[in-house]
Structure 1
């Protein structure tokens, strides 16, 4: 049986939760100072062309400014004529530790696949952060890597043995192994007591070197919502507001390259999110669909089953063809077999469920369930690097001592492989009045007539092009823009839903890049 011991002064762990004895301060003193702290990168819109910045200061500082310049034009200062300055907003957040000013700013009209240097602050001397950098998402469906970990909760300290220092160390090791990772997906229980700002203070402090350099994709866990914890979470992250009513910024989705990622709140309204997720996934034109939340529907702990999550959400995953579910809560790593309706199936017919173990000091006992394919219950913190390259997804799990915990590859068969469609680019008209794109498609795949259920054309900045669609004959589809294409790079996606023998709708995707001169 696993046991967990810590020795510290004035700190105990009760019922799986860390409590630090300290006098709760009335919200009179101001947290922070003139210089920005808790600097965090997130997105509320396209990662190709936008970037959000959040930081905090004392309540004496209300101005919110971000200065940004392409790295190629950065000479060590922000005095370049190429520098762009954006102003944002701020608000006062009252916590149990004191009041602080939270600043939010956003850069827009950025170039895809471009490295930028930036700093944030009040706009006054002495009120700037250190310079840091980020890189926007590349145009097109280019290969990329993201990081995944979970359950960074600990005692309210930055101690490297039993505090949030462990999380900072894991974050650093992950970025050392994957220096070009584009974001960190953290599936809940970020802190141990969401309503106690002292935990957030130490979480931010432990990762203060890493957070300004890579985007965060946070998920709420049961410890994050303790008391008024939802307010602390919402105050400190800017997130997409495309989720269902009542779950804005707690449930959300975004696209990155050929991946669609939906984040859910397993502590919220499960049914409302299920209905939203159906619509969200149906609208996705991406090759890979990933969902993340805290409580796994297929647990690794002997007796921590989240049956309400299983009943509410796994039918939606089956129906939508979700490829991968990333969660936490059980503090022991598990990878399931691909599952459909709770039964083992092949990878192309089911969803693989991952429990990301622990990136904090707490570990749980591992159970033995029929859905488990890989188990790891050693008392080691772990992180994962996920690389997506076209129809291939590589998942590598590493422990804090460098041990490889798990490694696997998911491959999607190329849609319509060997199905007789013309080579892309041969039928692109180039007349001055209107440019069209024609595709010759086989009319029958496995006895199911091929139809263009969903056709989209987008610019490289993800802006959708208004098109009309016509079927010229039994095997040719013509897509015509309603306004002439401007010169540039465009992407076309055709989705077709084909039911398999289980009745599950499988999405096939034809996609291509084309240039207009």
Structure 2
């Protein structure tokens, strides 16, 4: 093709993309599904640490998780601020292993390191063996950048999404469920761990579970066996009795991870824990409140319609009373951003709900939406991609969604968000309704 014509077409495409980003229900020609990735390296062919990922584990601490094939490998992490110069050692971590029918996992290690300096690069190695990894701790003050990606899976679209995320200068990744899409094939947990290792070993990944993590076999295997063994989160540090729901603070933001697949009525442990957790939030210390779970409460997509209604009925008043600013969910393989909403009506004190189950799963996109578009729905599009949530200060944050267009990342939706804490009309739990609900 003539290069000049190619440039004209590129400019035309950019103009069309810009226009598409300005309308509420943008349509474009969606590329076809891509193949499932096949990892050529056998995770168990080496005794070296692999499937390395990190997560926040309380104030100034990081949990390092990895897998080995060597039973005698210690749960020890050596670390320091210079390559190869490990001035600190953390020992005494836990080691887990599990069997699933004919499958037997490697030795899964979880060791907490710290206290660590904020916004600092550390070099570390696991189990006394190389390779050396490096991580960066989050800042303790604004601004802070979160990347959000749900329903990842292991396809070529996943690889594209991860590539775009790797180019983003983010501090923490949030994943609202459906990680590996192993779906009972346990070796796929291993290949997923290898796939995400370059990113997950360098920045904290804070995840919750989805329906593809359930993997139960009645009377034989319990729910979430593989997920709980491999992805230990900060539940103990946040006073939760379950790895399926927990919370953490980072740089002025309080994040609450909830479970769509555990009891959530007002007599449940999850509900009682969540209420107690919301009551402990100090909005002067953490003026932003973010909540994450898998099944969306506000979605105008035809896929999984109504599946979140029971949890919504039970817990939406709780989130509203606490002054939640933004809710992230997955499950529906598309993107949608709501306006501030509560009980299906636009409400200046309600949170923004964002469905972002479009990381790159093998099941494809959910392309059909309800028409007409509900009044609370601000933008929706069935495309793969990721989101970036930059909390600039105590009152303002910027959200943007980046669509995977072929192999290019295209910013297709963006909005400034104001914290409810800074709105005198809302003020979260200090409002009359908030006090009534949280103290009932």
TM band (smaller chain): 0.7 to 0.9
Bigger fraction of residues in strand: 1
Is 1:387 equivalent to 2:387 in the alignment? Answer: no
Displacement of 1:215: 0.8
Change (3 A) 1:317 1:243: farther
Once the two structures are superposed, residues 427-466 of structure 1 have per-residue CA deviations (whole angstroms, 9 ceiling, x without a partner) of xxxxxxxxxxxxxxxxxx99xxxxxxxxxxxxxxxxxxxx
Q: CA RMSD in A?
A: 3.1
Instruction: Determine the C-alpha separation between the residues in 1 that align with 2:421 and 2:264.
Output: 34
Structure 1 residue 51: deviation in Å? 1.1
Matches within 5 A, 1:232-381: 232-242=226-236, 248-271=242-265, 272=268, 273-285=270-282, 286-302=286-302, 304-305=305-306, 306-346=308-348, 349-360=349-360, 361=362, 362-364=364-366, 365-368=368-371, 369-378=373-382, 380-381=383-384
Partner deviation per Cα, 1:268-307 (whole Å, 9 max, x = no partner): 1112222321211111112011100000111232262121
Q: Is the 8 A contact 2:123 2:134 kept in 1?
A: yes
Q: Determine the structure 1 residue equivalent to 2:22.
A: none
| Structure-2 residue corresponding to 1:50 | 61
Larger radius of gyration: 1
Higher relative contact order (CA 8 A, sep 6+): 2
Please give the alpha-carbon distance, in whole angstroms, between the structure 1 residues aligned to 2:321 and 2:240: 24
Question: Aligned equivalents of 2:34 and 2:119: distance in 1?
Answer: 47
2:402 and 2:411 in contact (8 A); partners too: yes
2:51–2:194 contact (8 Å) kept in structure 1: yes
1:404 aligns with 2:404: no
Change (3 A) 1:184 1:371: farther
Q: Is the 8 A contact 2:34 2:156 kept in 1?
A: no
Structure 2 CA distance for aligned equivalents of residues 505 and 342 of structure 1: 22
Structure 1 residues 134 and 245: alpha-carbon distance in aligned structure 2, compared to 1, 3 A threshold: closer
Q: Report the Cα distance in structure 1 between the residues aligned to 2:435 and 2:342, rounded to whole angstroms.
A: 12
User: 2:8 matched to which residue of 1?
Assistant: none
1:88-143 CA deviation, whole Å, 9 max, x = no partner? 3323222443331111111122223322111112x2xxxx242222222334x321
Query: Per the alignment, do residues 244 and 53 of structure 1 end up closer, same or farther by CA in structure 2, a change over 3 Å counting?
Result: closer
Structure 2 distance, partners of 1:496, 1:249, is 27
Q: SS state of the match for residue 387, structure 1?
A: strand
CA distance in 2, matches of 1:99, 1:325: 34
Q: TM-score, normalised by structure 1?
A: 0.67
Structure 1 unaligned spans of 5+: 12-19, 21-28, 154-162, 417-444, 447-494, 507-517
Deviation at 1:226, TM superposition (A): 2.5
Establish whether residue 92 from structure 1 lines up as the match of residue 104 from structure 2. Answer: no
Within a 5 Å distance, the mapping from 1:57-456 to structure 2 comes to: 57-70=68-81, 74=82, 76-78=83-85, 83-87=87-91, 88-95=93-100, 96-121=102-127, 123=128, 128-139=129-140, 141-153=141-153, 163-176=154-167, 178-179=168-169, 181-227=170-216, 228=221, 230-242=224-236, 248-271=242-265, 272=268, 273-285=270-282, 286-302=286-302, 304-305=305-306, 306-346=308-348, 349-360=349-360, 361=362, 362-364=364-366, 365-368=368-371, 369-378=373-382, 380-390=383-393, 391-400=395-404, 401-412=408-419, 415=422
